[in-house]
Amino acid sequence: MEKVKQFIDNDTISGLMAYGVVIERSDSGMMVAKLMAPVMRTIDDPDSAMLEFPKGFVVYLYEGDTTPTSMIRGDYGVNYEKKELMVAKHNVMVKNVRTEELLETEMLFWNQKNKTLYTGGLVKISSPDKLIFGDSMTANENFTRREIFGIRATLEINEDE
């Protein structure tokens, strides 16, 4: 019995697992964000409760109407609830739906309290008329304002040629 108890104690993860998750957040009756993930695991640690999305996630952000203004997705994510910080990893994309600008990177930090995005890794930003490559970036969460650091290249795209 003692060996069984040791096995259970060592391999038990505090928290829950959920499948086909949809979480909607609203403010004053208006949709603010919608998160969808195939798998979500809650980890209840007294110091840092978090939600883990081991199979990826997509978040749509809204501003006052029913059409999303931006989208954030990654193949893996962790949301640190007390810090209001989400870390997205692997094939991360941020899209401004209105301007069709798309950020691609491998790791992104989303500070939900300050409504900012930032990455210390390589970034590729594509829009209908140009490509920009840089070393890192900060932006607002709806990806309408951004600052790219260490710009390596800016390529103009002309579809008429």
Write out pLDDT tens, residues 54-94. Answer: 999 999 999 877 789 899 999 999 999 889 899 999 999 99
Across 91-100, average pLDDT: 92
- Is residue 123 within 8 A of residue 133, CB to CB? The reply is yes
Q: What is the pTM of this model?
A: 0.81
Query: Is there a contact between 16 and 39 (Cβ–Cβ < 8 Å)?
Result: no
Span 30-58, average pLDDT: 89
DSSP letter, residue 114 = T
Contact 30, 64 (CB under 8 A): yes
SS3 4: helix
Task: Write down the mean pLDDT value for the chain.
Answer: 86
Q: Is residue 46 scored above 70 in pLDDT? A: no
Summarize pLDDT for 2-20 with one digit per residue, the tens: 655 555 554 455 678 899 9
pLDDT at 2: 66
pLDDT tens string 107-126: 999 999 999 999 988 999 99
- Give the rounded percent of residues in the chain with a pLDDT score beyond 70: 88
pLDDT of amino acid 10: 47
> What letter would DSSP give residue 84?
T
Tell me the percentage of the chain whose pLDDT exceeds 90. Answer: 50
